[in-house]
Amino acid sequence: MAADPAAAPQQPEDPTNHGLRVVVAWLILSAIATPLVAIYVGPLIPPGNATVQSQGQTFSNQVMTTLITPVLCLMVVFFAYGLARFHVRRNEAIVDGPPLRDDPRVRILWIVITTAMVLFLAGFGTYELLKDGAGGGQGPNPISFPANHKSAFQVQVIGQQWQFTYRYPSLGGMESNQLVLPAHSVVAFHVTSLDVVHSFWAIELGVKADANPGVDNVAYVETKNPTVFHVRCAELCGLWHGYMFNNGRVVDPPAFQAWATKAQALFASIKGFVNRDQPFRLHYLPQPYRRAG
Ligand SMILES: [Cu+2]
C-alpha cells in the first residue's frame, strides 16, 4: 500500500549551512589540486613537443585539463559531502527533506559560469586551432598555415590496405615505406588513399588526417629537433587495420640527405613502374597552393 505523502515524516529544520560548507571545501580542494595537476600531470599530457603543432596541442590539452580540475573537484566534494552527511544509518527511517523550488541566484550563477566557460573554451580552441595550421587535415585548400608554408617540404602519404607509402615529390617522386623528415622544417603532408578510408596519425607530430581516395588532404607541421615518432592508421580499414603502423624519424638535414640518396638508389629500379601509372599521378600529384596563390 502506498504511503500517504502528507503523512510522511518531515525532517526537522537544519540550521547548518551545507552550501557554504561545500563551497569552502571545494575552494580548498581546488586550490590544492589545480596547481598539482598543472605541475605533475601537465608534462605527461600528449602529444608532446616534437613539432610546433604538437606543442600547441599539448598546451591546449594542459590548459583544458587544468581548467576542468576545479569542476571535477566540485563534483567530488558535492558527492562526498552528500554521501557523508546525508546517508541514512542502519535502522533509521528514511525521511525526506523540505522540497527545493526555484532559486534565482543558483540559476543565474549556473547559466553565467557555464556560458562563460563554454564560450572561453570555444574561443581559445578556435584560436589555437588556426594559429599554426594545427596539424589536422584541412582538405585540399587549407584555411590556416604555419609561417613559411610556401617553402614547405612536401610528402605524400598514401594509405592502402594495409600500409602507408610515403612519396617525396622533391626527390623525383621517390617512394618509401619509411617516413623520414628533416629537422626544423615546415612539412606539408598530402594525405590520400588508394582504396578505402584510412587515417594518417603521426602521434608525436600532432598530425591526424583522413586518407580518402581521390582527395588531397593537406596537413602542416613544423618539425623541431631530431626524434622518433609513431604512425598509426586511426580509421578501422579492414582485417589488418591493427597492423598498419610505422616508426618515423625526424633527422638532421645532413642525415636526411644521406638517407634520401640511399633511398633514391633503392627506388631507381622501380621508378619507371611507379611513374607510368597515370591515374596515380593525376590523383596524387600535390597541388597545395591553389587557394593561397
Ligand atoms: Cu588503414
Q: What is the pLDDT of residues 159-196, one digit of tens each?
A: 988 899 998 888 878 888 999 999 999 999 999 888 88
User: What is the whole-number distance in angstroms between the Cα of residue 13 and the centre of ligand 1?
Assistant: 64
User: What is the whole-number distance in angstroms between the Cα of residue 196 and the centre of ligand 1?
Assistant: 8
| Cα distance between residue 20 and residue 30, in whole Å | 15
Q: pLDDT tens across 214-257, in order? A: 888 999 999 999 999 999 999 999 999 999 998 999 999 999 99
pTM score, two decimals? 0.79
pLDDT at 48: 87
User: What is the whole-number distance in angstroms between the Cα of residue 81 and the centre of ligand 1?
Assistant: 48
User: What is the whole-number distance in angstroms between the Cα of residue 235 and the centre of ligand 1?
Assistant: 6
Please give the average per-residue pLDDT across 60-74, as a whole number: 93
Phi, psi torsion values for 19, nearest 5 degrees: -60, -45
CA dist list (Å): 256 to 96, 135, 183, 260: 73, 22, 9, 6
User: What is the whole-number distance in angstroms between the Cα of residue 239 and the centre of ligand 1?
Assistant: 9
Greatest alpha-carbon pair distance for the chain in Å reads 93
Phi, psi torsion values for 98, nearest 5 degrees: -65, 145
Q: pLDDT tens across 11-50, in order? A: 666 778 888 999 999 999 999 999 999 999 999 999 988 9
